[in-house]
Structure 1
Amino acid sequence: MISDDAPIWTIIVLLGIGTYAIRFSFLALLGDRTLPPWLLRLLRYTPVAVLPGIVAPLVLSPPATDGVFDPARFAAAVAALAIGIVTRSFLTAIAGGAATLYLALWLLN
């Protein structure tokens, strides 16, 4: 007897195999080769390009407010960005953003 969950698990397993194959192909094909300098220079910008794409939706339409813009979270993001730029410290930026979020939530509620 086949469970109703069989299609879901089939998709999960196939996606896992596909993800593994994609990652392994890069490791197997490029693992022992030196990449060209121009490609290494471009790869340095990958986190800088990806991080705003991850953070921006969480700031502009946070799931905590059901997608409605929240000024407290926006203020916390701006404060964390400013503190990070000034101090060049990741942990200080996180602490400042968290403190700003809690203060803004307290003041706005």
Structure 2
Amino acid sequence: MSDTTIWLIIVLTGIGTFLIRFSFIGLIGGRQLPDWLLRLLRYTPVAVLPGLVAPLVVWPPATGGETDPARLAAAAVTLVVGYLTKNLLAAIFAGAGTLFVLLNVLA
């Protein structure tokens, strides 16, 4: 690719991401949103986060894409601790601790 093509892609991507953000912040930011839309937007993190985390647990790049029992166990512990305690930090530390211990024990 030529330098011009690369810079064109960078500029167009920047403009595109600006317009996406501006559509929410600049155009809608000062307006009251309908209740049904606010109710639906509450589910966005719950829908996006598993989509980001699940591939890293099931097909982790660190193992060449093969399922790893340590990562599955850490994810399960994180889910259980998070559900039982309703505490994000407790769930994160429990999952990280489980992953650390199992990676060192199983290695």
TM-score exceeds 0.5:
yes
- Name the structure 2 match of 1:30: 28
In the superposition, the TM-score normalised over structure 2's length comes to 0.91
Alignment of 1:35-50 (within 5 A): 35-50=33-48
Residues 1:107 and 2:99 are matched in the alignment: no
> Which amino acid is 2:28 matched to?
L
What is the RMSD of the two structures over their aligned residues, measured on CA atoms? Answer: 1.5
How many residues are aligned here?
107
Residues 1:94 and 2:92 are matched in the alignment: yes
> Which amino acid is 1:80 matched to?
T
Instruction: After TM superposition, give the deviation of residue 89 of structure 1 in Å.
Output: 1.1
> Which amino acid is 2:53 matched to?
V
> Which amino acid is 2:81 matched to?
I
Query: Which stretches of structure 1, 4 residues or more, deviate above 4 A after TM superposition?
Result: none
> Which amino acid is 1:54 matched to?
L
- Name the structure 2 match of 1:57: 55
- Ranges in structure 2 where 5+ consecutive residues have no aligned partner: none
- Percent pairwise identity: 62
- Ranges in structure 1 where 5+ consecutive residues have no aligned partner: none
Q: 2:54 & 2:5 partners in 1: Cα distance? A: 33
Q: 1:44 & 1:7 partners in 2: Cα distance? A: 39
Instruction: After TM superposition, give the deviation of residue 8 of structure 1 in Å.
Output: 2.1
In the superposition, the TM-score normalised over structure 1's length comes to 0.89
